[in-house]
């Protein structure tokens, strides 16, 4: 069995992207502790969403 995880693609407008980035950023900032993999996942999602926002800005 492979340890690789599958991925997912989503399409959303820039307003939804900003909201999702804000929600994930707040979840990361207010992370109550627990499983360190969860904190790492939140940090990764936060960075990926930020990168998507910057890509959008560059396309404008």
DSSP string, the chain: ---PPP-------HHHHHHHHHHHHHHHHT---S-HHHHHHHHHHHHHHHHHHHHHHHH-
Domain membership of residue 8 (yes or no) is no
| Low-confidence residues of the chain: pLDDT under 70 | 1-4
Rounded to whole angstroms, how far apart are CA atoms 11 and 21?
14
Number of structural domains, the chain? 1
Domain membership of residue 30 (yes or no) is yes
Domain membership of residue 27 (yes or no) is yes
Rounded to whole angstroms, how far apart are CA atoms 31 and 2?
29
Mean pLDDT, all residues of the chain: 91
The pTM is what? 0.83
Domain membership of residue 20 (yes or no) is yes
Domain membership of residue 3 (yes or no) is no
pLDDT in tens, 17-31: 999 999 999 999 999
For 31, residues 6+ apart whose C-beta sits below 8 A from its C-beta are 38, 39, 42
Q: What residue numbers bound the domain in which 35 lies?
A: 14-59
């Amino acid at each position: 069995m492979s340890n690789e995880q599958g991925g997912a693609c989503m399409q959303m407008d820039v307003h939804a992207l900003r909201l999702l980035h804000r929600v994930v950023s707040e979840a990361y900032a207010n992370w109550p502790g627990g499983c360190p993999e969860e904190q790492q996942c939140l940090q990764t999602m936060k960075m990926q969403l930020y990168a998507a926002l910057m890509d959008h800005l560059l396309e404008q």
